[in-house]
Amino acid sequence: MKNIKKPLISFLMAMVIIFCMVTPTSAASAYDAGKALSYAKAHWNDGKGYCAEFVSDCLKAGGCTVWSTGATTLAKRLKSSSYGTWLELEFEKNGNIKVSKNRDKLSLGDPVFYYCPQCEQKANTPYVHVVLYSGEDSNGNMKCYAHNSSKNNEVITLKGCGYSDIYYDGWDKHPYGRVTAAYVYHMNEATNSSKPSSTQPQYFDCNIQITCSPGKEVNLYNNPGDSNRAEYFSKGQSVVSTRGAKLSDGTTWYEITARKRNTGEIRNFWLKYDSSRMTLKNLSDGNSNSDTTEKDRNVKLALEKPIVEVSLGETATFNFTFTGDAGKVEYRILDKNICEYVSGGWKQSEHKGYITFSTLAEGTTNIPIFLYDKNENVADFYLATLSSLNKSIQKHNN
């Protein structure tokens, strides 16, 4: 009997080991928002780490293995994981997030990231803060748990930041850093049980040229599936998309880059494919005659020095180079009290140019510079920064 029991016990133990090795594969993607929030409630003021490390620990408590001490790195790692979907939130000018405008994107326990374009330009760290979504107050403002500064299921108002320090009292004291958008990494619906996972977009890579039919208007949205228009383009405009999404209702959406008409901001939007309003051309198709299109897509802009500091009264010149067959170069001064255009020019044959501004007052302003292709589409842009300094202060500091 002893000889029979030993092999049987060994076999059963082997099966248990195999089972334990196999089952975690499916469990690894499970996220328990309740456990993440419980950890946040217990550790919101423990002083351990800054914002990203705290949120990472919360996610870890909920079963998510993505972790980082930096907000930008955490965002990148989450976006490359399979735990959920990256979505842009409606962001109020006062620095709040209204849950009523984002209810279909937010679930308890989701990490929310704050975006600063100047920080992306200056230090390649676009996401300057991250918090854990925990609900809403009586006014519909988003509440969260967070570190630096600590938040205990409280409303957060985040409008501005410096390059090195997050600052919560507005951007007038920190002209370089201005939070302009917020994003949520919406954890998989199947794992936090707020909605069926079939409603989540199925993303795919593509290489599609989209041309708006003449006389037709194409609506642009912040996210695939949105119903409120964020922007539009028309008059036969053409654009290239490298990312698409299929929804459970059978619709196909494409992500594109376009300029907002009221602010001049270059950003990503989504459009829903409609055969009556646009035509598609697969640029990856070997039979496509895409020589001209490929040239347009390769039009890229680079600034020799994106940040220029000069004494008040002096001129500031931004020299730039570009690749491809450019159509034109444009600029936009965000604060006309600080500087004004003096001269500029560019040569296609030399693939370079310049723009010079005179300084009118002490201060700092951003100057978006846009490079267009031959089809008059924005092919690339760069956010330049001009600082006009008081001469007497400069001498004193030296």
**CATH code for the domain in which residue 330 is found:** 2.60.40.10
Do residues 325 and 272 share a domain?
no
Buried b (16+ CB within 10 A) or exposed e, 136-169: beeeebbbbbbbbeebebbbbebbbbbeeebbee
Domain of 348, in residue numbers: 297-397
Do residues 40 and 181 share a domain?
yes
Residue 377's CB is within 10 A of a number of other CB atoms, namely: 20
Domain membership of residue 3 (yes or no) is no
Domain at 233, CATH number: 2.30.30
Separation of CA 79 from chain center: 10
Domain membership of residue 14 (yes or no) is no
- pLDDT reported for residue 4: 52
Alpha-carbon gap, residue 275 to 124, rounded angstroms: 38
Place of tokens 């334990």: 20
Among the candidates 192, 227, 246, a domain finishes at 192
Alpha-carbon gap, residue 146 to 169, rounded angstroms: 17
- pLDDT reported for residue 55: 97
Domain membership of residue 163 (yes or no) is yes
CA proximity to 90, closest of 100, 80, 75: 100
Alpha-carbon gap, residue 142 to 139, rounded angstroms: 9
Q: How far is CA 183 from CA 94, 98, 227, in A?
A: 16, 13, 18
Do residues 246 and 173 share a domain?
no
195 CB-near residues (< 8 Å, 6+ apart): 189
Do residues 176 and 221 share a domain?
no
Do residues 302 and 269 share a domain?
no
Among the candidates 157, 174, 192, a domain finishes at 192
| Contact criterion met (CB below 8 Å) for 143 and 153 | yes
Enumerate residue ranges in the chain where pLDDT < 50: 1-2, 16-28, 162-176, 190-199, 286-296, 393-398
Domain membership of residue 21 (yes or no) is no
- pLDDT reported for residue 36: 92
pLDDT digit string, tens, across residues 299-336: 788 888 888 889 999 999 999 998 888 888 888 786 78
Domain membership of residue 359 (yes or no) is yes
Domain membership of residue 28 (yes or no) is no
- pLDDT reported for residue 396: 38
Do residues 110 and 151 share a domain?
yes
Do residues 178 and 249 share a domain?
no
Domain membership of residue 250 (yes or no) is yes
Domain membership of residue 7 (yes or no) is no
Phi then psi for 149, rounded to 5 degrees? -85, 160
- pLDDT reported for residue 149: 83
Among the candidates 192, 216, 238, a domain finishes at 192
How many domains are there within the chain? 3
Do residues 68 and 172 share a domain?
yes
- pLDDT reported for residue 392: 53
Strands 181-187 and 339-347 turn out to be unpaired
Sheet strands side by side (includes 111-115): 84-89, 181-187, 111-115, 127-136, 142-146, 151-155
For 195, how many CA atoms within 13 A lie in the half-sphere containing its CB? Answer: 13
Do residues 40 and 179 share a domain?
yes
Do residues 278 and 309 share a domain?
no
- pLDDT reported for residue 281: 81
Element (H, E) at 278: strand 278-282
Do residues 61 and 165 share a domain?
yes
Do residues 166 and 213 share a domain?
no
